[in-house]
């Protein structure tokens, strides 16, 4: 629908109490809730707190920008993820060559490197999957778990946790 001037009709946005507009000034857009962002003309797109039935787009992770300028070649733009993948691939290669403990430690170190890069570098390209906090916690916990398991693997474990035998007491036969 449109009015006599040919512009589409828009619902009036309520003004905030106590706010006064100067003569001739355009009205400030009013965002009524956390999920109604203004459109191109500054009007709120949605005025309900219900989430849309279909998602139209997604927000990029906060560190999801390029790690290098746009005119750089593709590998240079994504150096953080390439570094983490390279370290993990070296760890897998070392494991395949028969040095299980060392290879697994390198894979865990690659994940810990990913956590450190995600925490310290503002733009990490596609290494940013979720929010910075979630990425750092996920990469860090997985890296620590892999390193600890690599240190505890039999035979000749480099790290012995006394409560592990107590946990496994009922599941392992001592005979």
CA atoms within 13 A on the CB side of 162: 0
The reported pLDDT for the residue numbered 44 is 63
State the residue for tokens 């865990």: 108
Beta carbons of 124 and 56 less than 8 angstroms apart: no
What predicted TM-score, i.e. pTM, was given to this entire model?
A: 0.60
Which of 173, 169, 149, 174 is CA-nearest to residue 160?
A: 149
Alpha carbons 95 and 36: distance in angstroms, whole number: 51
Q: What is the DSSP letter of 155?
A: S
Block mean pLDDT (10 aa), the chain, length 175: 49 48 57 58 65 66 72 83 96 95 96 96 87 94 94 83 70 61
Cβ neighbours, 10 Å, residue 152: 14
The reported pLDDT for the residue numbered 34 is 52
Cβ neighbours, 10 Å, residue 148: 13
Q: What is the DSSP letter of 113?
A: H
Alpha carbons 172 and 166: distance in angstroms, whole number: 10
């Amino acid at each position: 629908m449109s009015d006599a001037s040919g512009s589409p009709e828009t619902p009036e946005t309520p003004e905030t109490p106590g706010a006064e507009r100067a003569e001739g000034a355009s009205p400030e857009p009013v965002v009524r809730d956390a999920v109604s962002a203004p459109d191109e003309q500054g009007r709120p797109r949605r005025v309900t707190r219900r989430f849309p039935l279909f998602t139209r787009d997604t927000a990029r992770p906060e560190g999801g920008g390029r790690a290098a300028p746009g005119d750089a070649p593709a590998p240079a733009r994504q150096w953080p993820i390439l570094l983490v993948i390279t370290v993990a691939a070296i760890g897998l290669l070392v494991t395949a060559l028969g040095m299980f403990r060392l290879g697994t430690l390198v894979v865990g170190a690659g994940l810990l490197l990913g956590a450190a890069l995600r925490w310290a570098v503002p733009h990490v390209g596609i290494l940013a999957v979720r929010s910075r906090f979630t990425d750092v916690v996920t990469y860090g916990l997985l890296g620590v778990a892999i390193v600890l398991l690599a240190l505890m693997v039999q035979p000749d474990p480099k790290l012995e946790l006394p409560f592990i035998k107590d946990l496994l007491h009922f599941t392992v036969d001592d005979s």
